[in-house]
Amino acid sequence: MARGERFARRCRILRRSEFLRIQGQGRRIHGRRLIFQFLPGRTDESRLGITVSRKVGKAVLRNRIKRWIRESFRRHPELRPRRGDPQRPYDLVITVKRDVDDFSFQAIHDEVVQTIGRHLRGEHRKNGAARGGKAPRPERARDD
């Protein structure tokens, strides 16, 4: 692998305190297999942290899923804004859901790319869903 293609250490969230800060304060988006938690970044680059519970499977499966997520994030530099880009860098923690059995690289890749893309375009706030709140309930027709 060429040096320019590596997933640099500066692009990773490594400290437990940072994971807890992002998980506690971040904007949460649920996908089919993954939970994404975004928080505006404190560094010059967007960073990624991944958590996979032992309940997901054995170590081989957990490590494979983490590699797939990192690779999906690494392959798409347009999804990783840096300081000076029109969009602000973010910190992202991805948590793998435990009740899903249909993991494949393509499924993980598609979910990562689509969800981060929606977040960057601001589509996660459509339909009146405010930060941390739910979308308003539709009005019911009344027979008055």
Quick one: tokens of 102? 């249909």
Mean pLDDT of 33-50: 91
Distance of CA 130 to CAs 27, 93, 115, 126, Å?
11, 21, 17, 8
What DSSP assignment string belongs to 5-42?
GS--GGGB---HHHHHHHHHHSEEEE-SSEEEEEEE-S
Quick one: tokens of 113? 């790319």
Q: Is the pLDDT of residue 67 over 60?
A: yes
Cβ–Cβ < 8 Å for 33, 100? yes
pLDDT at site 140: 58
The top-level CATH class assigned to 3-124 is alpha beta
Cβ–Cβ < 8 Å for 71, 116? no
Nearest Cα to 90, choosing from 22, 25, 41? 41
Q: Is the pLDDT of residue 103 over 60?
A: yes
In whole angstroms, give the CA distance from residue 65 to residue 56: 10
pLDDT in tens, 104-139: 899 999 999 999 888 888 865 544 444 444 444 555
Mean pLDDT of 6-18: 87
